[in-house]
Structure formats: structure tokens, C-alpha cells
Amino acid sequence: MSEVYAARRERLRECCSAGGSATALISRPANVRYLSGAAPEGAVLLLGMDQDVLVCTGPLDDQYAEGRPDEAVRVQVLPVPAGDTAVAAADLASAQGAESLAVEENHLTVGRYRAMNSVAPRLRLGDLGGAVEQLRVVKDEEEIALLRIGAEIVDQALSELLESILVGRTERHLALELERRLVDHGADGPAFTTSVATGPNSGRRSHRPTDRRVEEGDFLSVCLGATYRGYRCEIGRTFVIGTSPADWQIELYDLVFAAQRAGRQALTPGAAYRDVDRAARQVLDSAGYGSGVPALTGHGVGLEIDEDPQLAPAAMGKLDACVPVTVEPGVHLPGRGGVRIDDTLVVRPEADGGPELLTITTKELLAL
Amino acid sequence: MSEVYAARRERLRECCSAGGSATALISRPANVRYLSGAAPEGAVLLLGMDQDVLVCTGPLDDQYAEGRPDEAVRVQVLPVPAGDTAVAAADLASAQGAESLAVEENHLTVGRYRAMNSVAPRLRLGDLGGAVEQLRVVKDEEEIALLRIGAEIVDQALSELLESILVGRTERHLALELERRLVDHGADGPAFTTSVATGPNSGRRSHRPTDRRVEEGDFLSVCLGATYRGYRCEIGRTFVIGTSPADWQIELYDLVFAAQRAGRQALTPGAAYRDVDRAARQVLDSAGYGSGVPALTGHGVGLEIDEDPQLAPAAMGKLDACVPVTVEPGVHLPGRGGVRIDDTLVVRPEADGGPELLTITTKELLAL
């Protein structure tokens, strides 16, 4: 694995050199982990001229959730508060003779930036922008394998829930039970707050579970994700409670299903992000549901649950092979409820069989 | 409740005016909630010259965990990504004729700060520093009542766990079960990642639960917290598994207990933060355990689990009445384990009976 991290750092170093800086300071936790293998709380990674240093505030003995650092990276534990590692790293870079340092302006606070300027006044601070985020978009097969395991875990947790009795249980209890099952099956933990939405809440993006109980005739929409060795995937499904769904429920479900399928089928290397979004969105638009559709119909996943690319109307860029994304259109009708269907897939060329579906739970409308 | 929020905003406005700025932008979520009653994801609060505005990116229908906004605050929903609310607010302040705007430099990223400068070039950006954090240190009785309920919840969750069989169960399962019980008893959720540490892991601060199983003869240390209507408290206890604790376990436990008691007894209005820390620390130091003691022995709690004040050797300042803090010394012996004892208390004058203990689970050494 060590060569993988070294190669990532080397690619970043090339970006930095092109930007005129020989050294860089990485502070965003997912980026620190991507480049060094570990991201203890508050740690920053200094890509130095001589050696790369992971600046931490405590010993690295809590490795369960943060990974293990690459052996080629020097780990330096400093007795400073977690907010001050960036300042300590600026000091270190300056002491190593660095003249400029590229930082992540989209992550670093103004306060830390000023403190860095103050401890190392001759160090010229530049902006690394989203260089590491861009490197992270296309995954290697090891990363995809971790996402695949995470997807198996969410499929298992969901299928077990469906075997249990649902009527009368609250959204919060169902969400907690799902999270427990994720961990039972080996996840580090949930990838984000599990969403369980019933009746009028169903179909809402990022709905936070309430004390509402599942009732006969409800739509039940569930969105959950697993983190496995740092990698996050998600699944969303909508079910109907009781034996006979209403006509409007069947119609709405079929429509969202068609939109989600259109989105999935648009996932080919070279497809524009906005065209994938449009493929899904226009199915809903043409049925008159355009205003109820969220701002994006999918997004990248990896070390964070919401990464580049964004599949949205104004997004710029094109899909590459080996980019894992969600496709998750939905419709919510205020007061009535709605439907969301969400998969994690990996973009693959047609020759390799097209998009690889990681979350394989059925998308038939199950009446539970 | 509305007057409470209005009064808080008024006090902040006085700080701002003293700093030369009539308007302020609050971006740190706990501060936004403290001043407006709600903090939807990405929302910022503009304390304007005419009216105060909560700038959000979506409708406020997910109120379960984020509270309800004060009716005196205008809620403005803008179709911008969550990262851009601060920029939209700068634009708004500028349009209202503001000349200067105090921002939270310790929270705002350099990227957002630059974007604000760019949309509102004539707006002079100042630094609000930790003004809101300082206002939050002393709690009113409503806030303390919420912390008290949270503490009852953690006491209940812990006592139920102690009635169950522990040997053979993993740290991760015990942690999940505790979190489920917190929610069962009405918590919004855990206040932080529940820590369960067994055997050689016991006594480590912020230990992340692993798959290690509880064994006879282990120390078992547990640290958990509940969030109740946004307010976070914590408790930490150490137990011994089996009927006969070893001599070293009893000695170490008694020592940490004495240190924690000394810290609790030092909690009086007017006591210097560092003196409270020293009271606890010197008990451990004088027994030769100084190097194993964490950097702080307690901290404030409230809308965040780790607030001002810090009870640490170099901390500046003195305790006021109605400040809730933790007292949580601990010792961890590498390879053997250790003890942590952690309570949430509210500083009260002697005339009112001295410090109010919120977490009342026994601190006797229980052999389970």
C-alpha cells in the first residue's frame, strides 16, 4: 500500500510544482488520509522538500477508524491543540528553508491562516485549491473493492430490516437498528446519519428520523450508508407498507424508478455530469414534478460521502471510468410523501459491461 | 424563548459596536443556534442593522435536531450551496448599506473570506474572535435544565448496561447499545462517539471502540454523552470485571477517584481554571503518574461537547457561577489499562450548596 500513497503524493507534488510551490500543507482530513493513509483528529500533512511529515497532536494508537500512516511518512507528535497543527507545520516548513507553501484555502480558517503568517512571515502562502479532491475523483481498484464491501454491508443491513415487523416502530428506532446492523456486519460505522422517513416524510432528501411510527398504507423511504476502512457508499430505497399500494403510490414509484434508471443508463465514460443529471431529471420534469426534485440527482462517493463530481444541472465536467457515483432522484409531495431511489455505481466502459452496480438490493416496489 | 435569543443578540451587538462594527456574520453552527434558536446545515446568521437574517439553503422542515428559529429572525432561503451562505450574507449586508462586517475568523475558511471580499469589495471585514463563545460560557437556568435532563439520560443508559452481562461482548457492541439506550430515553443522539475501553485499552481518553471482548479481570472504562435539545453532557466511569479486583486496580482506582474528587471540590466561583486542573493533577503527579495524565482534566459543555473553559495547566481565566464543566482526570498505563472518572457539574456558590453534580451514577469501584 505504501507505494500507492507515495504515488499519490508524487502526483500532488507535480501539481504544486506547476503552481510554483515546492511544498504543500494538507489539512482537510479526507485529503490527509488519501495521501498518508491516516488522519488522526487535527492532523495535517506537510509535503516537504526533504520528507513528508504527518503533524499530529497525540500518539497514533487509536487506529481503528483513521487508518494507519504510510511508513514513508514521518509522524511528528507535537504537544499543541488540534487547531494548531497547521501553524506548527508552517513553522516546520519555514525551518526546512521552504519559501512558499500551498495551503487548502477552502478548508483552512482565516484564523489559522493568519497565525501561520505570523509564525512564518517569510513563507509565501499559496492556494492548493481542490487539487487533492480532483486526484480523488477516479478511484483505483483497491478503493473500489472497499466500496464494494461497504455496499454488501448496506445491502445486508437493509435486507435484514425488511424481514422484521415494521408497523408501529418509529423512524428513529428503525434508523438506529440499521446503524447497529451496519456495525454488526463489519462497517466502521454509518457513512452519514441514517434517514428513515415514513408517510408524509417519505421521499425527503436527508430527512432526520422523528418519533413518527410506521403505519399501514405509508410509503417508507430509507437511506443509509456504510463506511468501510474509510470508504463511504450509500443506498436508498422506498417501500410501501401493507398489501395494497394506492394507485398514486404505484404511479409515483414507477416514475421515480424510470428516472433513476435513465440516470444509471447515462453513466458512461465521457458523459457530461449535467447530461446524467438531465437524463434522470427530465423524466420527472416531463411528468410535471420538476419543482419537487432536489438540486442534484447524484454525487461522487469515496473517503467522503459527498465528493466530486456533482450530478447537477450546472455542473461542468465529464465522467471518467472508475468514478463511483450515486444516482438518487426523488420526488416529495408536501403533506403526502414521496419516493427516493438511490444506488452507488462505478462508471465503467461499455466494453466492461457498463456501469457496475454496487448496491444490489431490489428496486421492485416491495409491499411490506 | 424569543426574548432570550433577542437578549443574546443584543449583548453580541454591544460587543460588535465596541469593536467598531454595526453588523456581524455568525457562521459557527453552535453560535448560530445560540443566537437564533436554529442551525440548519450551512446556515449563517447575519446580525444586520435593520433586521437579523438566518440565511439557509433549504426549507426549515427538518427541525428535529437543529431547533426552531426565533420568530424575530427573518429566515431567508437561498438556492446556493451550503458553502456559499456566508458569501450571500456579505452581499446582503452590503446591499443594506453596511460598511463593515465582523466575521468569525476562527471558523470561516480563507476561501469563503476571499469570496466575500470579492462579492462585497467595499465591505470592511473585521474579526469577531470568540465573542459568541464567551457569551456562551455562563448558562441560564433553562440551558442548565436541558443539561440536567441529558445527564439523567446518560445515568439511565449506563445503569441499564450495568445490569446486563458484559463478559464476552465487544467494545463496539457495548458502545452501540449505550447509544441506542440514549435515544430510547429521549436523547437527540449521542453527544460524541461513545467510548468503551476494555483491558489494556481502559482509561484511554477518546478511545475508539474496537472488537476486543470484555474479559474477566479487565478494567472497563466507559465514556458517553447525550445531546438533549442541542445541549451536550458527558459521564465517564471505570468498572472492574469479575469478583476480585487486583491490588493494583484498587490502588489506581482510589488514586484517580481522589484526583477527581479534588477537582470537583475546587469548583467554586472565582477559582482559576488552572487551579482546578492543578487540584486534580497534583494528586496524580505526587503518586508518580504525571506523565500519563491528559493535557486537560476538564472542559466546558453546552451546545458543543468541548467548549470554553479548558481546565488545563496553562488556561487563563476564572470560573463563574452557572458554568457547566466536566472533571475527568484519568491515568492510562500502556499495556495494562487504566482508570478514568468523568462527571458533568455546574459551578454554584457555596451558599447554594457548592457544585451541582449532574451525573449521579455511583463512583464506587463496582465489580461486575
Closest residue by Cα to residue A171 from A237, A220, A216, A204: A220
Among the partner residues B114, B180, B207, nearest to A180 by beta-carbon distance: B180
- Provide the pLDDT for residue A63: 42
H-run or E-run covering B33:
helix B29-36
Can you name the CATH fold of A2-135?
Creatine Amidinohydrolase; Chain A, domain 1 (3.40.350)
Report the chain B residue with the minimal C-alpha distance to residue A27: B109
Q: How many CB atoms lie within 10 A of CB A68?
A: 11
Contact status, residue B45 vs residue B56, Cβ threshold 8 Å = no
Rounded mean pLDDT of chain B? 92
Distance from CA of B354 to the nearest CA of A (A): 31
Distance from CA of A183 to the nearest CA of B (A): 8
- Written as one string, the DSSP assignment of A113-154 is HHHHHHHSTTSEEEE-TTHHHHHHHSPPHHHHHHHHHHHHHH
- Provide the pLDDT for residue A170: 93
**Tens place of pLDDT for every residue, chain A, 368 residues?**
678 999 999 999 988 887 778 899 999 999 999 999 988 888 999 998 778 999 988 766 654 446 788 888 888 888 777 678 999 999 999 988 899 999 999 999 999 999 999 999 999 999 999 999 999 999 999 999 999 999 999 999 999 999 988 999 999 889 989 998 998 899 988 999 999 999 999 998 888 888 899 999 999 999 999 999 999 999 999 999 988 899 999 999 999 999 999 999 999 999 999 999 999 999 999 999 877 777 889 999 999 999 999 999 999 999 999 999 999 999 999 899 999 999 999 999 999 999 999 999 999 999 98
Rounded Cα–Cα distance for residues A87 and B52 (Å): 35
Rounded Cα–Cα distance for residues B368 and B54 (Å): 51
Going from the C-alpha of B265 to that of each of B288, B312, B316, the distances in angstroms are: 22, 16, 19
Interface test with A, best of B31, B56, B110 (most A CBs within 10 A): B110
Report the chain B residue with the minimal C-alpha distance to residue A186: B211
Residue in the structure block whose three cell numbers are 516546520: A92
Report the chain A residue with the minimal C-alpha distance to residue B27: A109
Among the partner residues B62, B103, B208, nearest to A207 by beta-carbon distance: B62
Residues of A with Cβ-Cβ distance to B299 under 8 angstroms: none
Distance from CA of A361 to the nearest CA of B (A): 25
Residues of B with Cβ-Cβ distance to A28 under 8 angstroms: none
CATH code at B2-136: 3.40.350.10
Distance from CA of B273 to the nearest CA of A (A): 17
pLDDT in tens, B232-284: 999 999 999 988 899 999 999 999 999 999 999 999 999 999 999 999 999 99
Rounded Cα–Cα distance for residues A12 and A16 (Å): 6
CATH code at B138-357: 3.90.230.10
Give the pLDDT band (50/70/90) at residue B60: low
Contact B208 A110 (CB under 8 A): no
Distance from CA of A352 to the nearest CA of B (A): 35
Please report, as a single letter, which amino acid is at residue B55.
Answer: V
Q: How many CB atoms lie within 10 A of CB B362?
A: 10
Please report, as a single letter, which amino acid is at residue B346.
Answer: V
Distance from CA of A351 to the nearest CA of B (A): 36
Q: What is the DSSP letter of A367?
A: B
* Coil, strand or helix at A229: coil
- Provide the pLDDT for residue B1: 67
Contact A111 B109 (CB under 8 A): no
- Provide the pLDDT for residue B63: 42
pLDDT in tens, B175-211: 989 998 998 899 988 999 999 999 999 998 888 888 8
Distance from CA of B106 to the nearest CA of A (A): 5
- Provide the pLDDT for residue A66: 62
ipTM of this complex? 0.86
Contact status, residue A280 vs residue A329, Cβ threshold 8 Å = yes
- Provide the pLDDT for residue A118: 95
The residues on A that touch B, with CB distances below 8 Å, are: 61-62, 64-65, 79, 83, 103, 105-111, 113-114, 127, 172-173, 176, 179-180, 183, 204, 206-210, 295
Contact status, residue B349 vs residue B268, Cβ threshold 8 Å = yes
Which neighbouring-strand residues pair with B272?
B318
The residues on B that touch A, with CB distances below 8 Å, are: 61-62, 64-65, 79, 83, 103, 105-111, 113-114, 127, 172-173, 176, 179-180, 183, 204, 206-210, 295
Rounded Cα–Cα distance for residues A37 and A120 (Å): 28
- Written as one string, the DSSP assignment of B154-217 is HHHHHHHHHTS--TT-BHHHHHHHHHHHHHHTT-SEESS--EEEEGGGTT-TTPPP-SPBP-TT
Rounded Cα–Cα distance for residues A334 and A49 (Å): 57
More confident residue, B139 or B68: B139
Contact status, residue A233 vs residue A206, Cβ threshold 8 Å = no
Domain range annotation of chain B: 2-136, 138-357
Closest residue by Cα to residue B6 from B34, B30, B28, B26: B34
- Provide the pLDDT for residue B294: 78
pLDDT in tens, B319-368: 999 999 999 999 999 899 999 999 999 999 999 999 999 999 999 999 98
Rounded Cα–Cα distance for residues A71 and A69 (Å): 6
Contact A110 B106 (CB under 8 A): yes
Kindly state the cell numbers that stand for A70.
504510510
Report the chain A residue with the minimal C-alpha distance to residue B128: A111
Interface test with B, best of A28, A64, A80, A110 (most B CBs within 10 A): A110
pLDDT in tens, B275-327: 999 999 999 999 998 777 778 899 999 999 999 999 999 999 999 999 999 99
